[in-house]
Every structure is written in structure tokens, then in C-alpha cells.
Chain A
Amino acid sequence: MPHSLSPVVNVVFAGLGGQGVIKASDVLADAAFRAGHDVKKAEIHGMSQRGGSVTSDVRFGPQVHSPMIPDGHADFLVVLAPTQVENNLHQLRKTGVLFPPDLVPEESLKNRRSLNVALLGALSTHLSIAEEHWRAAIQDALPERLLQVNLEAFEAGRAAERARPPGKGRHAAP
């Protein structure tokens, strides 16, 4: 299929309402925008905010058309809730990379609420977006008092991903 050759990067974020799914996708979209990409981001607000399943799609590259990632075409799947891994795996390509919530050890985070930013750190090791853009996007998205703890979470996520053995739990399908 022509679009599997497309240089558009597709990232799906998934979790439950209130976990920071949308915030994480906002940070990635902003970082990619700052890096000069065409970016589209789609999600559903509303009813789902009340503790229900939430997903958000971010696509970036030279030119993005649909804001929604077709099933089975996500290059990366970032999941914030253990219960939301299984029902979202169908979104991932066979060669896609999964970032499960337990990727970043609990004790490495000062505040468990920054798991969303920690997983962005892990994701960042796979993307060619310069660190300055990530930093600026995180800074813009969060209040000042939460900045330091989130920048540390981002680093913790990077370290966790670098320590993950290749092929170990990374891919959706063997």
C-alpha cells in the first residue's frame, strides 16, 4: 500500500480519562511542530473524560492528510493504563513499538502523575526531534511548579527505554 512507504510518523496515545493522554499528545504535537513538521492531532473529548477510555492520534511528517491514524498503522503506541493495552494493540503496525505503562519503573518517578511525560521520554529515543523542541513543548504545556519533576520524568523515560533489551516486549507481534 502506498502510505506504508509514507514518511509520516503515526503515534497513538491511550489511557483513561484524567491520566494525561491528551496532554502527552499535545506535547508531542507541539514538539514536532517546533521541529518544522506538518502535524495533525485528533482525539475525542466529551463523555470519555469521565474516567472512560481515551485515545489521541498524532501524525507528523512533510504533509499529513487525515488527522486519524488508520487501524494497524501506528508506528508507536503509548499506553498509560494497564487495562488499555490489549484493546489498543490492533492500532499498532506489526513492526510498531509499544510503550506500556510499566516500562518506566514506579520508583524512578517522583510523581506517578508524570508517567505521561516519562513515556514521552521513552518515545523520544525513537524520534529525530531535537531535545530543545521537547523541552520547549513540555515547558509550554505545564505550569512552572511541575516543570522540574516532569523534565526529570522525561529523562527517566529515556533511560528506561535505553535499558530495554531490543525485541523484549517492544513489538506488538512476534
Chain B
Amino acid sequence: METAATKAPARGLWSGDEAVAMAALDGEVALGTGYPGTPSTEILEAFSALGGRAQWAPNEKVALEVGLGAAFAGARVLVTMKHVGVNVAADPLFTAAYTGVDGALVLVSADDPGMSSSQNEQDNRRYAVAAGIPMLEPASSQEAYDFTLASLELSARWKIPVILRMTTRVCHSKSVVHRRDHPLPPAPAPSFVRDIRGRVMVPAFARPAHHKLRKKLDEIRAWAETSPLNAVHEGSLALGVVTAGISFQHVREAAPEASIFKLGVVYPLPLEALRRFAAGVERCVVVEEGDPVVADALLAAGIRVEGKPEMFRFGELSVSRVRRILARDESPEPPEPKAKPPELCDACPYHPVYGALQRMGCIVAGDIGCYTLGVMEPYQAMDTCVAMGASVGVGLGLRHVLPEAQARKVVSVIGDSTFIHSGLNGLVEMVYNPPATGHVLLVLDNGTTAMTGQQEHPGTGRTMSHDATGHVSIEGMARAAGVKNVDVVDPVKDPKGFEELLTRRLASNDLSVIVSRRPCILAAADIRAFEKTNAAKAAAASPCAGCGSDDAA
């Protein structure tokens, strides 16, 4: 039988993200869910394109919860997000370690050392330790494929969620991948089996669940000691390197003569195997991007290794930086060559918005998306940007304590996808604890998740594959929450009207939401095409489609 899996080529030049999607397909993952975020976005897009069932959730927490439910029912599940998305999903994640899963659940954490497109460079290996969740880390697209399958196996075997930790260079680099034929036993059909003590985490059940988790981790630690996912590359006895992920590739090139302990399982660490490795070489250096997670763990276990100098905590590693680490060279690095920073597109509908905010001298509590670029020249019209959805709360906090003249200038600015992601919580806070001067929340609705590459979201009313589905109305949510003034304007069609409205709303003591709606210039043509296709589908499915009349709908 020809399926998506048999149609796709057996070998290809794929990105790490595409390789994860291919493994999900070959590993019979029943559901992929997540929230877009560089560098993780392409995983679910590729899985969907391959014929897998993939969907965008409004945020990472919901994605993980949907995934957890499916895994409780016995399905194999993939949940994807960028590193900071795991912060949003952390609440269910920590307790999912206690409940465990019935099918298999793999959470992809796509970290961004060097912050190519992120607000911080947090090292999510810390989450594995903190939550007690096994973590695998691939070093190439082939390993992204193999380790996704290994994560599914590990998860199913120990009934525990597994984190597949990737980094930007593994997600976005392309390298050669060979697929395997039927790599896993067939997935069992989902079916509900009651397990109240195992899944209802009231204290009386959670206490034994914590003990159970630690026992599983001990077993997994013992398994990791001999797992082929960790590999020793024998070389010179003068220099041994412990490394994982993309750093392994840099080490191979920077020190081809070195003995290498390449970790595939980064949590729990195979401490005894590492102890033997370190004892067998004259000098043992841990080469890892980001925080000294492995180095600290080995030193704490009394294993004689050298970490990297503090200057290499920052940014990505590279072949030349690895050479410096090995040479203990802490001299200043050459400055980054000047690159042209990104900017709002010439025809971006946000230009008139930022023009107005700048002219009016607003204090702008900003948020995360393309519109963060309003901070750049010529506008410099953004004063804070911290986390998804934070514009609303931060704006309210500023209003609560600033002197009135300043408080009146505070505007929260958020995009449509970000508003749905976590701005909604701030909206509720705004109604519940309104500042004395009121507040203005400006939703820049360009009809897409633009920054990550134009993904759909609940506010567009289209699914990941652009089919029509339920539509969440931003202005409807604002009205339902009890905001007094809710306006929808097109800032490009009527820039003057927009500015006048904003001035009026800032002068009042009311709560106001202004939805500034105009499609993203890069997405507009696609959006029109999706809407046309969906309208035609709806017309064809309607009962009067058969009469041949043009106005059947």
C-alpha cells in the first residue's frame, strides 16, 4: 500500500527539523502539536506536509496538555516548541514527569544559543535535570531522525515523557539522512485505561508518583551507561573531549586526533562510563555550548575534567572557538563583522502605527513578533520586550505606579498570534485590576504569525494546513472580557483616523482595545488564496451546490 511514508525518499538532504518530522512519520506518531517558534517551526510543518496529523496550539502549555492527553490514551505524540516555549509549558511538564504516559510523548525543545531569533539563550538541558525527564541531543540530521525514534522507544519503554533537545544549527542545518524501514513496532490503537492513582496528582497520589519517577530515572541511568546513543571515538590518550550535539561536529574538525566521548543521552548522564573515559586520558575537556551543565555534573561526581572558560558560555560555539577552548586561549575574540539588522518590510502595515506612537511620545510596552522591529530606526517606538504576552501586564504595571502624565502615555502593543498565545491572560488582568488612568491595548493584527514564517493561529480561522476551522475573534474576546471601548481600524487606509482614535483613547480613563487590522504584506496574497479555496470548498459542500447557480451559497 502506498502511504506518505512509502512515497517519501529513503535518503535525502534534510534539515534536522525535517528529519524529526520524517522520524515521526516512520515512528507512527498519531499527533504532532506545538506553537511556532524559531528554530522549531518547520518540524510540524514538515510533518503535516508528509501527511502526518499536525496542528498548532494557541500556546506551548496547551500543546503539551493536548499531547499529554493523547499519550494518556496510548498514542505516540510529538510536541514541538522553541526553548522559551518550554517555560510556558513548564507547569504541565514537571507533573507529566510524575504521571508518565501510556503511549509515548516526545517534547522537542529547540534551543537558540547565540539568539539568532530569540530574546534569551537559556539552556534547556537544565529542564531535564529540574523536571527529571530524560533528554537526548542529536548532532546532525541523521541523529535527529535516529534520536526521535530512540526518544519514542525510550518514552514507551519507561512510560515517561522524553525531551529531544535540539539547537539552531541542528534544526536548520541540512545533512544527509538515511531512513529506516519500519523502525518501531506498530503503534497500538489508542484506548482509555483508567489509572486514577497514576494520573490524578493530588498529594496522596503525587507522593508515590515522585518515588516512582526517581526509580525510573535510576533505571534509565543504568541503561544509559551502555546505550549506543553514547559513543566513544577512540583517539589520542593525551586529549579526551566530552561533548554533545553540534559541538561534537566542531570538535571532530578542531581536534581530529582527540579521543571523544560523544553524549547522545544528556540526562541522565552515564557517569560511570564518563568516569572511565576521563581516567583513561591525560587531559579531559568538556566542550559544550551554553551553560556548563555537563562539566558541573561531572565535577560534582568527582570526575576529573576541565570546563570551558566563562567567555564561551555566551553565543554559539564554532570550530575556531572550540580550538580556543582546547588551547585555553582566553584572549579577546575578533569582533563580529557588521551585518545589516532586520527591519520592518517597506510595505509593512505597522509603519503608520509606529509613526503615530513615535510622534505621540508613547511609552510602549512591546511584545514578541515582527512588530518588535518597531524598536529599530527610524521609530525606536518600543520600550520593553520581555516575553510572549508580557506587553499587557508590563503596560499595566507601568500605569499603576507612574505619575499621571506619564501613565497616560503607556500603550501595550501586541500581535494577533501573541495576543491569543498569552495576551489573553493580560486582557483579563486589565479588566480585573484596571489602572486609574485606564489603559490602551493595541493589537496589531496582520492575520498571521508573521515572524516565524506566516503560520496560522486561532485568530485566522484556518488550520495549520490552511483549511477553514473555528475562528477566535480578537475584538469579540475583548468585548466579552468587559473592555469598554473596542475598535477595529485599518491603519494603512486611515492613518489619520488611527492617530486620532489613539489620542482620544489615551486621554480617557477607560479601558480600550484597538485592533489595528491589515494583512501582512508577505502573507496577503496567500491569505486571499486560502480564503478563496475555503469558500469554494464550503460552497461545494453546501446542500444547494448541485443546482448550478453561482449564488448557491
CB within 8 Å for A45 and B345 given contacts A66-B252, A66-B319: no
Complex Cα distance, B238 from A68, in Å, reads 27
List the B side residues contacting A71 at CB < 8 Å: 320, 334
A50 touches B249 (CB 8 A): no
- Which one of A32-40, A128-136, A143-151 is at the interface? A32-40
Distance from B368 Cβ to chain A, minimum over Cβ atoms (Å): 11
Q: Most chain-B CB neighbours within 10 Å: which of A29, A50, A51?
A: A50
Q: Which residues of A contact B452 (CB under 8 A)?
A: 46
Binds B, one of A84-92, A94-102, A109-117, A163-171: A84-92
Interface flag for B175 (CB, 8 Å): yes
Q: How many residues of B contact A (CB 8 A)?
A: 37
Central interface residue in A38, A43, A48, A67, by most chain B CB within 10 Å: A67
Q: CB within 8 A of B252: which of A17, A43, A65? A: A65
Q: Does A52 contact B (CB under 8 A)?
A: yes
Determine the distance from Cα of A12 to Cα of B452 in the docked complex, in whole angstroms: 24
Contact across chains for B172 and A52 when beta carbons are under 8 A apart: no
CB distance from A134 to the nearest CB of B (A): 15
Tell me whether A29 and B342 are in contact (CB under 8 A).
no
Which of B116, B340, B453 is within 8 Å of A83, CB to CB?
B340
Is B38 in contact with chain A by the CB < 8 A criterion?
yes
Judged by a CB distance under 8 angstroms, whether B479 is at the interface is: no
B400 is an interface residue with CB less than 8 A from chain A: no
B174, A39: Cβ atoms closer than 8 Å: yes
A87-B252 in contact given A29-B174, A46-B116 (Cβ < 8 Å): no
Judge whether B486 is part of the interface by a CB distance below 8 angstroms. no
- The closest CB in chain B to the CB of A37 belongs to B176
Which residues in B have their C-beta under 8 angstroms from that of A125? none
| B253 interface residue per 8 A CB criterion | yes
Residues in A with CB closer than 8 Å to B342 are: 17, 47-52
Out of B246, B250, B339, which one reaches A52, CB within 8 Å? B339
Contact B343 A50 (CB under 8 A): yes
Count: A-B pairs, CB below 8 Å: 110
Minimum CB distance partner of B174 in chain A: A41
Residues in A139-161 with C-beta less than 8 Å from chain B? none
**Cα distance, A33 to B339, chains bound together (Å):** 30
Contacting pair A50 B318 (CB below 8 A): no
B451 at the interface (CB under 8 A from A): yes
Q: Do the beta carbons of B340 and A45 come within 8 Å of each other?
A: no
A133 to B307 CA separation, bound complex (whole angstroms) = 45
Picked from A17, A47, A70, A90, the residue with its CB within 8 Å of the CB of B117 is A47
Instruction: Choose one: B250, B343, B451; the contact of A46 (CB below 8 Å).
Output: B451
Question: Does A16 have its Cβ within 8 Å of any Cβ on chain B?
Answer: yes
Contacts of B117 in A (CB 8 A): 44-48
Out of B174, B249, B340, name the residue touching A65 (CB < 8 Å): B249
Q: Say how far B477's CB is from chain A's closest CB, in angstroms.
A: 28
Report the separation of the CA atoms of residues A4 and B314 in the bound assembly, to the nearest whole angstrom.
Answer: 28
Q: How far is the CA of A102 from the CA of B344 in the complex (A)?
A: 27
B39 contacts A67, C-beta separation under 8 Å: no
Q: Which of B174, B370, B453 contacts A40 (CB 8 A)?
A: B174
- Asked if B359 lies at the interface with its beta carbon under 8 angstroms from chain A, I say no
Q: Are B338 and A87 in contact (CB under 8 A)?
A: yes
Chain B residue nearest to A63 in the complex (CB): B252
B339 and A87 form a contact (CB under 8 A): yes
Contact among A17, A29, A48, A53 for B13, CB-based, below 8 A: A29
Closest Cβ of chain A to B323, distance in Å, is 9
* 9 further A-B pairs in the complex, CB-CB below 8 A; given A44-B172, A67-B169, A68-B318: A40-B175, A43-B172, A47-B451, A48-B117, A49-B342, A64-B175, A66-B249, A67-B246, A87-B339
A-B residue pairs in contact (CB < 8 Å), sample of 23: A16-B340, A26-B174, A29-B174, A39-B175, A40-B140, A40-B175, A41-B174, A43-B173, A45-B117, A45-B172, A46-B451, A49-B342, A53-B341, A65-B253, A66-B249, A66-B250, A67-B246, A71-B334, A83-B340, A87-B338, A87-B339, A88-B337, A90-B337
Residues of chain A touching chain B, judged by Cβ–Cβ distance below 8 Å, are: 2-3, 16-17, 26, 29-30, 33, 38-53, 64-68, 70-71, 83-84, 87-88, 90
